Amino acid sequence: MESWFKTCCICILLVFSFVTPTYSCFIEIHWRIFITNTITDNIVAHVQSGDDDLGNHTIPFNTNYSWEFCRRMDRRTLYFGSFWWGSKFQTFDLYNKDIDRFYHTSDARDDNCYWLVRPDGFWISRRNLAFPDSWNIMRSWTN
């Protein structure tokens, strides 16, 4: 192997070892999605994508549930969630390419997105500010 090539490879690896966050994504963007339950009751959340099923999780009042992933280069990463609160239910996309477009902080390689679950529905924000600053409602509960 040419020595310039080796040097080049080592440089590239060094650069990535600095820019890559703790969760190891290579050149993809690292996303962490938080779901905070503000309902004074347990809710159950089931997050899944085509090839990643995170299973059922109970989220007690005033706690977070989060998961992370490396966004696919073709931006086809999609996670949807199903939620149960007593007899109420809802299911929708928690992360898809539109959410990526609207909620990605430009230049960030390590991005967060926040969902707030309230009795009136599901709110999203790119920052975890005190409600209602910066939050947008995306869905209500069924029935």
User: Rule CB under 6 A: which residues touch ligand NAG?
Assistant: 34, 36, 44, 46, 56, 62-64, 84, 128
* Nearer residue to ligand NAG within complex by CB, 7 or 58: 58
* Nearer residue to ligand NAG within complex by CB, 73 or 129: 129
CB of 137 to ligand NAG, least distance (A): 19
CB of 70 to ligand NAG, least distance (A): 19
Is residue 54 within 8 Å of 35, Cβ to Cβ? no
- The enclosing H or E element of 137 equals strand 136-139
| Structure letter (DSSP) for residue 51 | T
CB of 44 to ligand NAG, least distance (A): 4
CB of 90 to ligand NAG, least distance (A): 12
| Nearest alpha-carbon partner for 54 in 80, 22, 92 | 80
CA dist 132 → 58, 78, 80, 94, 136 (Å): 24, 26, 24, 19, 8
* Nearer residue to ligand NAG within complex by CB, 7 or 64: 64
* Nearer residue to ligand NAG within complex by CB, 91 or 136: 91
CB of 40 to ligand NAG, least distance (A): 13
* Nearer residue to ligand NAG within complex by CB, 36 or 77: 36
CA dist 78 → 13, 100, 103, 129 (Å): 29, 10, 14, 25
Distance CA 36, CA 123 (A): 10
